[in-house]
Structure 1
Amino acid sequence: MIRAALAGQIRSAGPISVAEYMDAVAKAYYARAEVFGPAGDFVTAPEISQVFGELIGLWCAVVWRNMGAPASFRLVECGPGRGTLMNDLLRAAARGPGFTAAAEIHLVERSPALRAKQRDLLKNQGASWHDDLSAVPRGPLILVANEFLDALPVRQFEMTAAGWMERYVGLDQAGSFIFVLQPGSPEPAPPAKIGAVFEMSPAMTGFASQVAARLSRDGGAALLIDYGHEATAVGETLQAVKKHKPCGVFETPGEADLTAHVDFSAVAKAARTEGAAVFGPLGQGVWLDRLGIKLRGLQLAKAKAPEIAEAIESSVRRLVAPDAMGALFKVMAISHPSLATPDGFQQDAGR
């Protein structure tokens, strides 16, 4: 059990960083059989409506054409869940002549339980699985990561009267997990009031750097979709969700989804440092509107029974409405600097 294992580690070697805690808990959590959907702890956009994955598939097909339609390229998804997004993506992208034959599918997934679900759904697609992006062979790349970055570990810092201190996870006298402070300061250190919390994620910016370096070298584009903030800011966003309800981050380790908001400004900075072009972030609702989600929803609902048509329209509203997923969730594209501005970003392209 992950709680006992971590407690034993802390007793023998001392407190662990918040990032170490998140990483260990995530490994245990995603090893479970069911974490997505109504029976799990949370629902992602691909599970809400097939239109989401279909539009991403069409986006990928256009990117491939803009790349010069290479005869072979790496189509990569990081954190593929149950494989729903990739399945919908491939179905839609197949409308583009040559795309399917050129696509070499790679899924970055370290959970054996989720790999089994993905294999079942994508059994006829010839996909390969990897624990890390670094294992994906070199070559032209189109990468999709939906709700992947938010699960990467963050470090937390707290402002005290003596300055910034890093939060670690320790044990109280009863053996329960608690936050403890140890020397450590974020770089650069932002101004803040006593008690304020600042989060940073070397794992997140490291991933962005890795993706951008590959794109700058081999060509292609990446699409990152997640919830988060556009500008780096002080504030605590680490959260746990179990059975679709918030709970304490120490309450049921390994049984709740533990995430933090994505700092898109830090992601963009890391990508640009590697010579890549960056577009966005845009609100998910704005981006999906530009790709024609409402028209596609109407096409799906046409000639359907009233209750089915209403369910389709409701799912589209959930994806785009500002008070649902449309504003909190952001979309960012990273690409080779010579690639044409990706669909959905032309109206406000900026590199």
Structure 2
Amino acid sequence: MSGTAPERLDRFMARANAAYYAGRDPFADFITAPEISQMFGEILGAWVAVTWQGMGRPDPFVLAEAGPGRGTLMADMMRLMARVAPDCHEAARVHLVETSPRLREVQRAALAGRTAHLPAWHDAIDALPEGPMILLANEFLDALPIRQFVRTEAGWSERFVQGVGFVDLPAGDLPDGPFDRPVPAGEILECCPAALDVARGLAARFARSPGTALLIDYGYDGAVWGDTLQALRDGQPAWPLADPGLADLTAHVDFAAFAHAAVGAACHGSVTQGTLLARLGLFARAGQLARNRSPVEAHAIHDAAQRLAAPDRMGRLFKALAMTSPGLPVPPGFAAAPGMAADEGERHEP
């Protein structure tokens, strides 16, 4: 370990994940909600159509996805919109934020024949074209590089990577982040500058032109702290500092810090993924799909719905946050029904 210079954690994480996504198939290591069931994309396709109407039906509008994976979510949304909201489908100009050339080709194949206009690809959210926009990001923020700070009796130190271990060094200038939280000495506070930049950039954009963003990821909401850095390699948990580029590195999303950074925009939530999908009609859709199917097929459909929404599966750990331009309606799924709590789930503290 002594022969290598310390590297700041966010720089290590950015380097490792760039190599991972360039050289490996991430879907061999994990499965995302769109891959579990077409219902996820269909529900969000209907969400886009209703949100578009609430924005005044702009034509054209940017329909963007950050971190589109195999393109399954966008393909399922566009298929649903073509069937039930053809005007929205025609108005949508699909733009995908993806840096991997290999994944871009996979997405291109998934979207062939699904969009009314040829999709376009970009390296960053701030490269998306101007104009009215609806943006979706499912499991995008969790892969952005984080910094970790350790509370000490004297202030803060920062975790660096040296070899396959951590070393704490005196913290220099602290980045913008949740450093006012009452973190006990010896505990870790995570900060994701890249995610906070996304929040600020979207808020500034939504001040210029109408926009709505839906961000779904695993994470927490509240003044919490803790070490959430994790790695998956060959589908199994791994030590995150070993063999950079061979494992997917992620950290839980701090939705409270994200919303706090979105100055000027209206933020709604977070709510749990289970709450959002239930409000948007997931279980009714599962019943429709299961009708007239064999018992085995019907069971698989209902099991997929439970996997997406049940509290002991993806339903509670995953959260959803919506951000809109000031004055736009509350997006579907984020306004609690009378007598219902703002979120039926529980907060997850790392």
AA aligned opposite 1:132: A
Compute the displacement of 1:26 (Å): 0.8
Contact in 2 for aligned 1:231/1:265 (Cα 8 Å): yes
Choose from 168, 171, 184 the match for 1:181. Answer: 168
Compute the displacement of 1:241 (Å): 1.2
Runs of 4+ with >2 A deviation: 159-163, 185-195
1:59 maps onto 2:26 in alignment: no
Choose from 74, 99, 102 the match for 1:86. Answer: 74
Q: Deviations over 1:274-319 (max 9, x none)?
A: x111100001101100001001001111111211111111110011
Compute the displacement of 1:33 (Å): 4.4
Contact in 2 for aligned 1:216/1:335 (Cα 8 Å): no
Choose from 259, 264, 267 the match for 1:268. Answer: 259
Contact in 2 for aligned 1:284/1:326 (Cα 8 Å): yes
> What RMSD, in angstroms, separates the aligned Cα atoms of the two structures?
1.7
When normalised by structure 1's length, the TM-score is: 0.90
Partner SS, residue 337 of structure 1: coil
Give me the whole-angstrom Cα distance separating, in 2, the residues matched to 1:252 and 1:284.
Answer: 33
Q: Deviations over 1:196-238 (max 9, x none)?
A: 1110111111111111211221102000000000113120000
Give 2:138's aligned residue.
146
Q: Which moved more, 1:287-296 or 1:236-245?
A: 236-245
Q: Which moved more, 1:192-201 or 1:330-339?
A: 192-201
How does 1:1-351 map onto structure 2 within 5 Å?
A: 11=4, 14-36=5-27, 40-94=28-82, 95-124=84-113, 125=115, 126-171=118-163, 177-184=164-171, 186=174, 188-271=179-262, 273=263, 275-347=264-336
Partner SS, residue 204 of structure 2: helix
Contact in 1 for aligned 2:161/2:241 (Cα 8 Å): no
Partner SS, residue 344 of structure 1: coil
AA aligned opposite 2:34: P
Structure 2: segments with no counterpart, 5+ residues: 343-350
Percent identity over the alignment?
48
Give me the whole-angstrom Cα distance separating, in 1, the residues matched to 2:77 and 2:23.
Answer: 25
Q: Which moved more, 1:211-220 or 1:131-140?
A: 211-220
Partner SS, residue 297 of structure 1: helix
When normalised by structure 2's length, the TM-score is: 0.90
Contact in 2 for aligned 1:232/1:263 (Cα 8 Å): no
Give me the whole-angstrom Cα distance separating, in 1, the residues matched to 2:155 and 2:260.
Answer: 26
Q: How many residues are treated as equivalent by the alignment?
A: 330
Compute the displacement of 1:163 (Å): 3.2
Compute the displacement of 1:133 (Å): 1.3
Compute the displacement of 1:156 (Å): 0.4
Judging changes above 3 Å, is the alpha-carbon distance between structure 1 residues 32 and 300 closer, same or farther for their aligned structure 2 residues? farther
